[in-house]
Amino acid sequence: MKIIDNIKELKEEIKKLKGSIGLVPTMGALHNGHLSLIKRAVNENDNVVVSIFVNPIQFGINEDLDKYPRQLKQDAFLCEKERVDIIFAPKASEMYSDEKNNLTLICPPYEVVDKLCGKSRPGHFDGVCSVVAKLFNLTKADKAYFGQKDAQQLFIVKKMVKDLNFDVEIISCPIIREADNLALSSRNQYLTENDRKLALNISKALFNIKKLFSEGIVDIKALVDVSLKIMEGLDVEYIEFADRNTFNFQTKADRNTIVLIAAKVPESKTRLIDNINLWE
Ligand code: PAF
């Protein structure tokens, strides 16, 4: 496995590869969720590139860019075990020769970013799309693997690929959860014991909505009210019901509904997201 930190060398190595290329874009601090994407990429491609890059231009000024966990040595160990071919782990200065406001960015339309995570994180998806587009160009990936936990990100990346005719297939991979249903996230590392207990109520609320829906309850207000009770003690940023194919908000739950939650836990102020499809 090669660990590459510069664009010139990456391009040279990519040129040498024979067969298909799978890309797993990550910000590192790899957990079993990432490993599930990597395993799938290894199964489905002749070559696999994992990018590990804490992308500064997708973080807002008051967000956790500086404290975001960085553990390249441990990540490299895990990738090597999975038979990854290349880790691409550049410095920010290698990826961006200029300040964000002086870069050419990919900006998804207002309709898809001015809601859910995009609402409280202005510019976040411009940063995500711009870095992902660069990674597609640099790695010449045939397939790229994204987790469904970041459902809005997945939707927006798929739209970018379609709108801009990128020659890459986006593979969406299921959310991986702990035994107690907490969705895996690199940010779970920030949680205190008490935060973790409270954080469990996010998935509890989601699974409860799915159960109530299966019993015939489609009234969103009723489903939200019961969920907010379950999530008492958390600072709920949003709980929304959207059509999973369009991400338009709904007035009634149906078989296409994805329910999405973002909430902060009180002690570490960690912002967590999770979601569930009501029918799958
Ligand atoms: O989901 C992430 O980890 C990041 O948003 C991504 C896709 C690697 C882009 O920086």
Per-residue pLDDT tens over the stretch 89-136: 999 999 999 888 899 999 999 999 999 999 999 999 999 999 999 999
Q: What is the pLDDT of residue 98?
A: 87
Question: Residue type for 71, please?
Answer: Q
- What is the mean pLDDT of the segment spanning 51-72? 97
Does ligand 1 come within 6 angstroms of the Cβ of 128?
A: yes
Closest ligand 1 atom, residue 147 Cα: 1
The single residue of 22, 23, 34, 203 carrying the catalytic annotation is 34
Q: What is the pLDDT of residue 280?
A: 81
68 near 186, Cβ under 8 Å?
Answer: yes
Establish whether residue 186 lines the binding site of ligand 1, counting it when its CB lies within 6 angstroms of any ligand atom: no
Which pTM value belongs to this model? 0.97
247/112 Cα distance (integer angstroms): 8
Q: Which two tokens stand for residue 236?
A: 């709920």
124 tagged catalytic: no
Whether 270 contacts 264, CB under 8 Å: yes
Q: What is the pLDDT of residues 62-87, one digit of tens each?
A: 999 999 999 999 999 999 999 999 99
Residue with CA at minimum distance from ligand 1 atom 5: 128
Q: What's the pLDDT band for 52 if we cut at 50, 70, 90?
A: very high
For residue range 169-226, what is the model confidence (pLDDT) as tens digits? 999 999 999 999 999 999 999 999 999 999 999 999 999 999 999 999 999 999 999 9
* Apex 154 CA angle, 58 and 20, nearest 5: 100
Residue ranges, CATH 3.30.1300.10, the chain: 186-277
Q: What is the mean pLDDT of residues 227-252?
A: 98
- For domain 2-173, is the CATH number 1.10.357.10? no
**Long-range contacts, stretch 95-99, CB < 8 angstroms, 24+ apart:** 95/7, 95/53, 95/55, 95/131, 95/134, 96/56, 96/57
Average pLDDT of the chain to the nearest whole number: 98
Residues of the chain with CATH 3.40.50.620: 2-173
Distances (CA, A) of 88 to 1, 71, 115, 256: 11, 14, 32, 37
* Measured torsion, CA atoms of residues 237, 178, 174, 221, in degrees rounded to the nearest 10: -30
Q: What is the topology classification, in CATH, of domain 186-277?
A: Pantoate--beta-alanine Ligase; Chain: A,domain 2 (3.30.1300)
Mean pLDDT of 136-154: 98
User: Amino acid identity of 279?
Assistant: W
